[in-house]
Amino acid sequence: MFLIISTNKVLDNLEINFDTNGLWALNITLAIIMFGVALGITIDDFKRLFRNPKIVLVGIFSQFILFPLITFILVSVINPIPSIALGMIMVAACPGGNISNFMTQLAGGNAALSVSLTAFATLVAVMMTPLNLAFWGNLYEPTSQILRTVELDPFTLIKLVTLILGIPLLLGMLTRKYYKKAAFKLAKLLKPISIIIFLIFIVIAFSQNLDIFMEYIHYVFFIVIFHNIMGYFGGFYFAKVMRLSYFDQKTMALETGIQNSGLGLLLYFNFFNDFGLGGMALCIAFWGVWDIVSGLALAFYWSRKTNKIVI
């Protein structure tokens, strides 16, 4: 018991090196990435989705209900320290990461579906991210105690998610509608640049906290990897049970397993940073690195498998 309390204090007293400038950089980076994705989206994409409502329901259910449920079960079974548990719940409450569009294309999945689901999930996330964080966080007693201490304001949370994801999505779609040629040119430029900027941001943030990661990473290493794998499996096999094509199953796996942990970090630094929850930050930060590595590995595996089938 003493060892558990000691571990809690050690982890939660650690501070990630991340200042106000870094927070602004993260805000802007996430907004640019969302804007770049939105440049390739039209109202017709949403119409096509709703012509096949089954795919929409599977995608939204997988991201916003299935994965948070899987996370709650994992948290209840593994019983990590409360701040790490809340980090897992935070990640599961976020929508799929925008980089999943690139991964899906590489994997030979349904890239058009991935982009459309990213857009729709972003709209849904404005309400579902705060709702899932509050619901699942309060359902698990140790994290419920943290949320009571933090006194999270759901309306402030919704406002932040809207500013970072909702408004760039709307602006990108409006640019595509009224300035189509410019949108195509800008999208070609922004997609690779925004991904590179995000990766550079992660590398810089990681290098600034290298000593912290090296000393404490073992507390979250296997938890995050297993959590991430369960996201891929959950998305893939749920799509399979729902009789979607293999083409779409790969898409659902990547949309579920790759989370917008950048948004999770942003929410952490805005709402939780002053409450001594270093374990939460460590969990979300490692997620941000790991799901890129695992997503690329899975996409590369599927691309090789697809090429062999074609040959």
Q: pLDDT by residue for the chain (311 residues), tens digit each? A: 433 444 555 565 656 666 556 667 777 777 887 787 778 777 777 777 777 788 888 988 999 999 999 999 999 999 998 889 999 999 999 988 777 877 887 788 887 788 778 778 878 888 888 899 999 999 999 899 888 887 667 777 777 778 777 888 888 888 888 888 888 888 878 777 777 777 777 777 777 777 777 778 888 899 999 999 999 999 999 999 999 999 899 999 999 999 888 788 888 888 887 777 778 888 988 888 888 889 889 988 998 875 554 43
State which amino acid sits at residue 49. L
Whether residue 3 lies inside any domain: the answer is: no
Query: How many angstroms separate the CA atoms of 104 and 59, rounded?
Result: 14
In this structure, what token pair is assigned to residue 234? 């959950």
pLDDT for 224 equals 95
Query: How many angstroms separate the CA atoms of 158 and 301, rounded?
Result: 37
Radius of gyration of the chain (CA): 19
CATH at 111: 1.20.1530.20
Whether residue 148 lies inside any domain: the answer is: yes
Work out whether the CA dihedral 183, 188, 189, 194 comes out positive or negative.
positive
Tally of CA atoms within 13 A in the half-sphere of 160 that contains its CB: 22
Whether residue 11 lies inside any domain: the answer is: no
Query: How many angstroms separate the CA atoms of 128 and 135, rounded?
Result: 10
Q: Cα dist. 165→9, 46, 53 in Å?
A: 34, 17, 23
User: Which residues are CB-neighbours of 172 under 8 A, at least 6 positions away?
Assistant: 34, 35, 36, 37, 38, 39, 41, 183
pLDDT for 309 equals 46
Whether residue 232 lies inside any domain: the answer is: yes
In this structure, what token pair is assigned to residue 238? 């749920």
Query: What b-and-e string marks burial along 277-310, b requiring 16 or more CB atoms within 10 Å of the CB?
Result: bbbbbbbbbbbbbbbbebbbebbeebbeebeeee
Whether residue 106 lies inside any domain: the answer is: yes
- Domain count of the fold of the chain: 1
Whether residue 1 lies inside any domain: the answer is: no
219 lies in which domain range? Answer: 19-310
pLDDT for 4 equals 42
pLDDT for 1 equals 42
Residue among 14, 18, 11 at smallest CA distance from 207? 18
Whether residue 4 lies inside any domain: the answer is: no
